[in-house]
Amino acid sequence: DTAVSQTPKYLVTQMGNDKSIKCEQNLGHDTMYWYKQDSKKFLKIMFSYNNKELIINETVPNRFSPKSPDKAHLNLHINSLELGDSAVYFCASSQLGVRRNTIYFGEGSWLTVV
């Protein structure tokens, strides 16, 4: 079973569209994240939720809106997509208090905006 699963894996869309990426973890973790990896391979944290509450919100355009319906899910909705949003988006999870700094990543969602 996949511990952290995200869909879709590949997404090609036009500028101006709105899209969502879904993420689910079956590890029972209380913290979930969204990371963005750009073309230069830098991996940057975007958001972090702990028990459905936002705890980290990096300098991300407000076109990006995370939604956590429960602690096993953290979806990412992106409005008015721009060319610069093209990247790989990774969902991840961890359990605070257990095995410090151990973050489990999903396989990634490749977003291409044309």
Partner 1 sequence: LAKTTQPISMDSYEGQEVNITCSHNNIATNDYITWYQQFPSQGPRFIIQGYKTKVTNEVASLFIPADRKSSTLSLPRVSLSDTAVYYCLVGDEEYGNKLVFGAGTILRVKS
Choose which of 17, 26, 102, 112 interacts with partner 1 (CB under 8 A).
102
**34-53: contacts with partner 1 (CB under 8 A):** 35, 40-45, 48
Q: What Å distances lie between residue 96 and 34, 54, 58, 101, CA to CA? A: 16, 15, 20, 8
List of long-range contacts for 48-56, beta carbons under 8 Å, 24+ apart? 49/74, 50/96, 55/31
Considering only 4, 21, 32, 87, the residue that binds partner 1 (CB under 8 A) is 4
DSSP category for residue 38: -
**DSSP reduced 3-state for 13:** strand
Nearer to partner 1 (CB atom), residue 57 or residue 79: 57
How many H-runs (helices) and E-runs (strands) does the chain carry? 0, 11
Q: Work out how close the CB of 107 gets to partner 1 at its nearest, in angstroms, rounded to a whole number.
A: 6
Asked if 101 touches partner 1 (CB under 8 A), the answer is yes
Q: Which residue among 34, 49, 64, 90 contacts partner 1 (CB under 8 A)?
A: 90
Binding residues vs partner 1 (CB under 8 A): 4, 31, 35, 40-45, 48, 55-56, 58, 90, 92, 94, 96-97, 99-108
